[in-house]
Amino acid sequence: MNMWTAGKTAFPLGKKTYIMGILNVTPDSFSDGGKYFGVEQALAHAEEMEQYGAALLDLGAQSTRPGFQKISAKEEWMRLEPVLTALRVRTNLPLSVDTFYPEVAERALAAGADIINDVTGFQDPEMRKIAAKSDCGCIVMHNGELHDSDNGGDDVLERVRCFFGRMLELLAEDGISRERICVDPGIGFGKSYEENLALLANVDRVKPEGCAFLMAASRKRVIGAPCGNPPFEERLAGTVAAHTIAQWMGADFLRVHDVREAVQAALVADVVKAQRRDG
Residues designated catalytic? 220, 255
d(CA 236, CA 239): 5
Contact 91, 50 (CB under 8 A): yes
The enclosing H or E element of 212 equals: strand 212-215
Nearest CA to 80 out of 159, 26, 18 is that of 26
Contact 102, 126 (CB under 8 A): yes
Contact 120, 61 (CB under 8 A): no
Contact 212, 182 (CB under 8 A): yes
Nearest CA to 256 out of 1, 3, 31, 73 is that of 31
3-state secondary structure at position 184: strand
Computed on alpha carbons and rounded to an integer, the radius of gyration of the chain in Å comes to 17
Contact 61, 79 (CB under 8 A): yes
